[in-house]
A and B are shown apart, each in its own frame.
Chain A
């Protein structure tokens, strides 16, 4: 089955620690995205990548970092510089021929800072 996987589903972090969220897709999509979801806030874009070895900051990139060394992988690191990291993080991808504007989402990772 083609799709997007995110791991882990739940993640707990102590203040001051960096943590990396995994996102993998086997859809052969070029573009991948990270969104943050907070209650009542909708989804806000953190980073996106339209091709391997290239990525762009979104609206709320401060305190986050990414890499795109492989087409199928787009990990997100939440650094200690992110002041309020507790949230639900969603990864997405798109790139279907004929439907370039349709994004597919992973199941999400819920990060809690203790």
Chain B
């Protein structure tokens, strides 16, 4: 079945460092791809998404590009802030199944220090 694999954390960075969190997926066709963020003690918030190959999702300085050839959707940010400390989840919805449940990776914890 479809699945998502993301790099294990924790990732520890200093403020203003560059961030990359790797995410690869296994799925047939063209799934929709997502990054969600979870701040301590809270639910998940949608960070960005992409629904077709070569699409770039972006939000709050974060970016991710849908790469069909490498089945990847890596999350990047050029300069992280302390407020970016959270758990980041890569997820997908299988192709042609809008309205079904998300399939999540295990999450990557990011800790940014000043």
Q: Do A and B bind each other?
A: yes
A53 at the interface (CB under 8 A from B): no
Determine the main DSSP class of A at the interface with B: strand
Total number of B residues with any Cβ neighbor in A under 8 Å: 21
**Min C-beta distance of B48 to chain A, whole Å:** 11
A75 at the interface (CB under 8 A from B): no
A66 at the interface (CB under 8 A from B): no
Total number of A residues with any Cβ neighbor in B under 8 Å: 28
| Contact of B99 with A101 in the complex, beta carbons under 8 Å | yes
**Min C-beta distance of B51 to chain A, whole Å:** 7
CA distance A94 to B100 in the complex (A): 9
B17 at the interface (CB under 8 A from A): no
Given contacts A90-B43, A105-B45, contact A100 B99 (CB under 8 A): yes
| Contact of B99 with A105 in the complex, beta carbons under 8 Å | no
Listed by A's residue number, 11 A-B pairs whose Cβ atoms lie within 8 Å are A33-B101, A42-B89, A42-B104, A42-B105, A43-B89, A100-B98, A101-B51, A105-B36, A105-B43, A108-B41, A108-B42
